[in-house]
Amino acid sequence: MKKKTAMGLMAPLFVAAGTMGAAEKLYKFAFHRVDEVPETSAEKQKYADQYYHYVNWLKTQPTRNWKIEAFDRPLKLSATYIPAAEETTDTVIVAHGYKGNGETMANYANMFHELGFNVLLPDDRAHGHSSGEYISFGWLDRLDYQNWIQRVIQETGVDARIVLFGVSMGGATMEMLSGEPLPEQVRCIIADCGYSNIDDEMSYLLKKTFHLPKYPFLPAVSAINIYRQGFNLKKVSSVNQLRHNYRPILFIHGEKDAYVPLNMVEANFDATRGPKEKWIVKNATHAESFWIDPADYRDHVARFIQRNLTYRLQ
């Protein structure tokens, strides 16, 4: 066989090997657990003093550590439970963002605690004190949260009233959880800057961050994930899950969010079937809505919960 012909036949193999090599690096970057929370973006460094004020507050609280098993594999999941100052059966379950943990949600924990709620701050699989090697971007976590809900009911009783709250990946996690069977104790949901689906989100970030096209890289990353975690990334969709949601939901999104584009909240808002509200926060970037004006954020959240805490599915 002539050398030129052989090279021509080998070329697709070199391309495929190069694609899979790049996909493996992308997968490691995006999906592998990290044991230290990455530094926040430069635009949010101005909130550092406020952030650590809330973290220090959390460390002074009489918290309890809870453990459960993951729904599908032998993983130990960890959460911090903060009982309300006065005994109550009302609890907010708070889902953190990508490569964060429960502690990074201390500002929201403080807000809900001041509103009189018990607060549960889980560490998702592959985050914080929970075990796990790979991040599932909320897809597997949504079913772990079903177990956390049952743990809250076990703690506070059948009269429990539960609010689901999440930011960024946590917002998408709660949106995806909304489409699953949930007990009547779950009354309403608040999702701050959650993505519509991981396929569009990763395609957007591939182009924005790495200047790479969706094809062939995202299908290759998905193939790796099917092998490692057992699901195709195309399944990871807030929109599809919200089509099965009939509970009240408040969507919050920053007007200038360049990480999860504004059109994603529109898709999520259109998809849900229950009572819904939308608050676009002027001039806020990704996950900045609270920090722009904490008092205004608290007021919006408190009013929504007050209207919907007694809601029951018919």
With residue 114 as reference, give the H or E element that holds it: helix 106-114
Q: What is the pLDDT of residue 314?
A: 67
In the three-class reduction of DSSP (H, G, I as helix; E, B as strand; rest coil), residue 68 is classed as strand
Position 203 in a domain: no
Q: Is the pTM of this model over 0.75?
A: yes
Three-state SS for 204-258 is HHHHHHHCCCCCCHHHHHHHHHHHHHCCCHHHCEHHHHHCCCCCCEEEEEECCCC
Instruction: Using CB atoms within 10 Å of the CB of residue 2, give its burial: 0 to 12 exposed, 13 to 18 middle, 19+ buried.
Output: exposed
Position 8 in a domain: no
Position 271 in a domain: yes
The dihedral over CA atoms of 9, 13, 18, 23, expressed in degrees to the nearest 10, equals: 150
Position 1 in a domain: no
Work out whether the CA dihedral 103, 53, 119, 189 comes out positive or negative.
negative
Position 221 in a domain: no
Position 18 in a domain: no
Phi/psi zone of residue 44: left (φ > 0), alpha (ψ -120 to 50 degrees), beta?
A: alpha
Quote the tokens at residue 32. Answer: 């592998």
Q: How far apart are CA 137 and CA 22, in angstroms?
A: 20
- Can you give the CATH number for the domain in which 302 is found? 3.40.50.1820
Please list the pLDDT of the chain residue by residue as tens digits (314 residues).
Answer: 444 443 333 333 333 446 889 999 999 999 999 888 988 887 789 999 999 999 999 999 999 999 999 999 999 999 999 999 999 999 999 999 999 999 999 999 999 999 999 999 999 999 999 999 999 999 999 999 999 999 999 999 999 999 999 999 999 999 999 999 999 999 999 999 999 999 999 999 999 998 999 999 999 999 999 999 999 999 999 999 999 999 999 999 999 999 999 999 999 999 999 999 999 999 999 999 999 999 999 999 999 999 999 998 86
Quote the tokens at residue 200. Answer: 């569009």
Position 58 in a domain: yes
Q: How far apart are CA 28 and CA 170, in angstroms?
A: 21
Q: How far apart are CA 268 and CA 312, in angstroms?
A: 22
State residue 50 phi and psi, 5-degree precision: -65, -40
- Other C-beta atoms lying within 10 Å of the C-beta of residue 60: 7
Task: Give the domain range for residue 171.
Answer: 32-197+236-308
Q: DSSP of 177-213, one letter per residue?
A: HTTS---TTEEEEEEES--SBHHHHHHHHIIIII---
In the three-class reduction of DSSP (H, G, I as helix; E, B as strand; rest coil), residue 10 is classed as helix
Domain count, the chain: 1
Q: Where are the alpha helices (DSSP H) in 256-293?
A: 262-271, 289-292
- Other C-beta atoms lying within 10 Å of the C-beta of residue 69: 12
Position 314 in a domain: no
